[in-house]
Copies of this chain bind each other. A is one copy, B any other.
Amino acid sequence: MQRNLEAMHSRMQRLGVALRPHLKTAKSADIARLVTQGQAGGVTVSTLAEAEYFHASGFKDILYAVGILPAKLDRVDALAKSGADIKLVSDSLDTVKAIAERSPDSALPFKILIEVDSGEGRAGVLADDPVFLEMARVINDASNMKLMGVMTHAGHSYGCETVDAIKDVAAQERERITSAAERLRENDLPCPIVSAGSTPTAVHAENLDGVTEMRPGVFVFNDLKQLAVGSCAREDLALSVLASVIGQNKHKGHLILDSGALALSKDISAHDEHPEVGYGEVCHADTLEPFEGLYVGAVSQEHGIVPVDNPDAFDRLPVGTQVRILPNHACITAAGYSHYEVLENGRITAQWDRVNGW
């Protein structure tokens, strides 16, 4: 994990952009302190619960990167009043109009970035849609809002099959978000922040001119999905689930682990590239070397089923054996836990807590 953080810092420095790490992956103040070490400290969150937790843990500059709703502004306002420099995003003209009409009892103007679709097609307006400029003007004209710029998330980088394809998505992400920024400036609208990023595009972008900050998240841990799309190497996988063999079903030909849907999640996102990883790869607990051909093929709530083709596996993994499971998607798997056990040189040296919920 420490290597992953350092590599991302170096890359962002080399490309001349700030790293505003997305803390939705780790949701841990201990990890947030490591990932922001030696830099300004702006962070990204995916829930207001994260914003409140990280602010209470000493983080001030927080971008809440999921579209805001007027109904959620009381919590934002409370954070701002207690000293947080919280930034919001929206892709909705209706939302910013509703905020503009809100009674002005908040201490500070709400700081808004307009979310732009850079090709993912999830959230975000298109910068050439008239709605984009209209939103910008509503925000800029309102006394209770401040236009902070534009943001995007090139989530379609997760669907890439080659590093060249990721580089293309990264170039598209940069082009779309800097065009959006340019459109604001051409219209005499402010755009101090030009925010982009996903782990694959942050790892493979060759040019980030015009982008002011990147928001990768899962790079902290990486996972089988990131390995499959080419964002990391196997030795960069920093999160695993410790499990035990609790049964050997010889009449059906499988091992039973005490890690099921809640311990691993039901995320199978690495299946696009590698269906053979199932719900996770089964590895030696100490070395993280994979047991050749062993993966969690099915899960129920607390059971993980590992199909056994070669009966040798029953000898190699007797009941009681501890194994480590590498998950498909670290963000989703980690969300099942209240804390991390920190493994350093083969020993657990600390527990780091997490914030869950909303």
Which of A's residues lie within 8 Å of B, judged by CB? Answer: 24, 46-47, 66-71, 91-92, 94-95, 98, 117, 121-124, 126, 129, 155, 244, 246-249, 251-252, 256, 258, 261-263, 265-268, 300-303, 305, 318-320, 331-332, 335-338, 356-358
Asked whether A331 lies within 8 Å of B301 as measured between CB atoms, the reply is: yes
CB nearest to A49 among chain B residues: B338
B66, B124, B303, B319: the one within 8 Å of A69 (CB) = B319
Q: List the B side residues contacting A246 at CB < 8 Å.
A: 66-69, 92, 95
Asked whether A332 lies within 8 Å of B301 as measured between CB atoms, the reply is: yes
**Bound: A332/B335 CA distance, A:** 12
Question: Could you list 9 A-B pairs, sorted by A, with CB under 8 Å?
Answer: A69-B319, A91-B247, A117-B251, A122-B252, A123-B249, A123-B303, A301-B332, A335-B336, A338-B356
Tell me the dominant secondary structure on chain A's binding face: loop
Asked whether B67 lies within 8 Å of A256 as measured between CB atoms, the reply is: yes
Asked whether B69 lies within 8 Å of A244 as measured between CB atoms, the reply is: yes
Q: List the B side residues contacting A251 at CB < 8 Å.
A: 117, 121, 126, 129
Q: List the B side residues contacting A98 at CB < 8 Å.
A: 320
Asked whether A258 lies within 8 Å of B303 as measured between CB atoms, the reply is: no
Q: List the B side residues contacting A95 at CB < 8 Å.
A: 246, 319-320
Asked whether B331 lies within 8 Å of A256 as measured between CB atoms, the reply is: no
Asked whether A122 lies within 8 Å of B305 as measured between CB atoms, the reply is: yes
**Bound: A303/B155 CA distance, A:** 12
Q: List the B side residues contacting A319 at CB < 8 Å.
A: 69, 92, 94-95
Asked whether A332 lies within 8 Å of B123 as measured between CB atoms, the reply is: no
**Bound: A175/B95 CA distance, A:** 60
